[in-house]
Amino acid sequence: MRPNFDGQGRVWGVDVMLRRAQSRRVDGWLSYSFNHARFLDPDGGGAAMGFDGGTRGGWHFPTHHRFHNLNIVVNARPAPRLNIYTRLGVASGMQLARRLGDAPVPFILYIDNPGSPDGGSLDVRYFWPSVTDENNRTSASLPMDVKFSLFGGAEAGRRTRWEIYVAVENVLGLLSSQLGLSQGNQSFDPFTGQVSQSPGAATYQIPIPIPSFGFRMTF
């Protein structure tokens, strides 16, 4: 790959936030972003290879583009030293290749094997023809994070402060994919052509909950 840096981009957006300043019991914010990004690859109509695996002619949305992002963040403090952080997001879908036909189709593949007396062999593989469609997108993703924190050390005018926390990222990852809330194209086996019966995941992050815990000190 030989990357060129002669492309063009037109990007604009709108950000809106409503915030409640820090309080004893509950605070947080509500934010919304609208994003519009159009790119132009001067070599899109030729033989150049794009970073997303193919060329795109004319002005186009990048494959990772999302129009809407909504985030709700809440900090709840049932006790002075305890904080429960929750973030719930709604992210509109990314571009999804529009598949042609109802199932994968076979093709003949020649496998070169110089060590074989025959020099190679023929085998069958499967692929699913598709076209780029900027209006065909995955369903919305629902990222959600939760963090429980216990604080201490800031009393009596001390500068040192410590925090013990337990967190889970992407709490709704498995649930949203299993319930069909975040769907993409179904996967298939390129060797057999068998299509997966489970819904394709299109989550905003890794499609499983990720737990973490730790200790932090500031001074």
| Rounded mean pLDDT, 106-120 | 80
Alpha-carbon gap, residue 160 to 100, rounded angstroms: 61
pLDDT interval class at 50 (50, 70, 90): very low
Of residues 110 and 115, which shows the higher confidence score? 110
Residues whose CB is less than 8 angstroms from the CB of residue 201 and which lie 6 or more positions away in sequence, other chains included? 173, 177, 182, 183, 184, 207
Helices (H), 3-121: none
Alpha-carbon gap, residue 158 to 209, rounded angstroms: 36
The pLDDT assigned to 202 comes to: 53
Q: pLDDT tens digits, residue range 152-173? A: 876 666 778 889 999 999 888 7
Of residues 207 and 72, which shows the higher confidence score? 72
| Rounded mean pLDDT, 63-73 | 93
Q: Look up tokens 């060129």; give the residue.
A: 4
Alpha-carbon gap, residue 85 to 88, rounded angstroms: 10
Q: What percent of the chain has pLDDT over 90?
A: 28
Average pLDDT value for the chain: 82
Q: pLDDT tens digits, residue range 72-94? A: 999 999 998 899 999 999 989 88
